[in-house]
Chains A and B, each alone.
Chain A
Amino acid sequence: MMTVDLIRMLYDYNYWARDLVWDAAEKLSDDDFMKNTEYSWGSIHNQFVMAMSNEWVWFTRLRGETPKALLTPEDYPNRDSIRTKWREIEAQVRGYINAMTKDRLQEEFTYNSLNGNTHSQGVGEVLLHVVNSGTDNRAQIIAMMHLLGAPTIEQGLIFYLRERQESG
């Protein structure tokens, strides 16, 4: 059984690390942000939209709705549009996490994947998946930034925990 406090800590870490990577990506030129690196989802732009979309899809499902498709890079064509949408998603995610209870965390919920298959998962498993996927996506973005010669960052959870410990 996982705890509500653990989930809250992991989501706070998730957005701490997201902001570090995003701030680094803000220093890229528009051309570099959109450039196809021929890895994973192609551009850093696409990879950020993918990461944002992953949060959106899962939290939409957790609210009982059934998304039919991922968010697309075409709908979020630049950093301003991604930033605005992601802040909106983050507010929803934090609201959901802040309202989380021990009982809700243990519940099973049933949803349809994008290809129409029905699955059942524990709410806690889904919440962990989203954080784990965030780490994966950020690592891919950081690799792409390096390929473009841009400065990168360390996203280790332990650095977040130490910062939090030092700030009391």
Chain B
Amino acid sequence: MNADSIRQLYEYTFALNDRVWACIDRLSDDQFVQELDYSLGSIRNQVVHWLNVDERWFARLRNAPLPAIIDGQDFPTKATVKTRWDAVRQDLQSYLASLDDATLAKPIVYDTRRRGQMTSDAWQILIHVMNHATDHRAQILAGLHGLGAPTLEQDLMLYLWEQE
């Protein structure tokens, strides 16, 4: 795996995240925080969980202190979540812009609640974060469907065909 491959995969991830956000934007703020009987509850909670996970992984990748877990209740509207979302994305984009192959192969040691100290290579974490995003986009799309909002297909191949 090299840094250019990771950057290309994240272009897909960012593009699909934007498209899912465009679907979320069709919801009212009430629908955004409406409790759904699935997974983490509301669409808001799904996005905030996703943000928490991304922020913590990027902190580990940079060997920075772990940020406090943010609570969905502190983000009552789409706009408040989106502001935080955009900031995290900007951080990730700057991390990716300076990523090199040596950094990608670096082992990252971190603590987990259930399994104690673990070690993963930086590239494994980046692939995990991308796969986690696919998983959560699918969960959010299922929630959006339940709320009657538009959804989309998130295939990597459809994205690649668009780039041809």
Contact = CB atoms under 8 A, between A and B. Distances in A.
Interface in B92-141: 112, 115, 118-120, 123-125, 127-128, 131-132, 134-139
Interface stretch (B69-77, B83-91, B156-164): B156-164
Contacts of B132: 156-158
B155 interface: yes
B39 A146 contact: yes
Given A1-B4, A10-B127, A157-B132, A128 B120 contact: no
A132 interface: yes
* B interface, size bucket: 35 or more
Interface of A: 1-3, 6, 10, 39-40, 119-121, 124-126, 128-129, 131-133, 135-136, 138-140, 142-143, 146-147, 155-158, 161-162, 165-166
Contacts of A158: 120, 125, 128, 132
Contacts of A126: 157
**B interface: dominant SS:** helix
B2 interface: yes
Contacts of A162: 112, 115, 118
Contacts, number: 93
Contacts of A121: 157, 160
Interface of B: 1-2, 4-5, 9, 37-39, 112, 115, 118-120, 123-125, 127-128, 131-132, 134-139, 142, 145-146, 154-157, 160-161, 164
Contacts of B115: 162, 166
Main secondary structure of the interface of A (DSSP, over half): helix
A6 B127 contact: yes
A143 B155 contact: no
A147 B36 CA distance: 11
Nearest to A125: B160
Given A125-B160, A143-B38, A158-B120, 7 more contacts: A129-B157, A132-B155, A133-B155, A133-B156, A135-B134, A136-B134, A147-B38
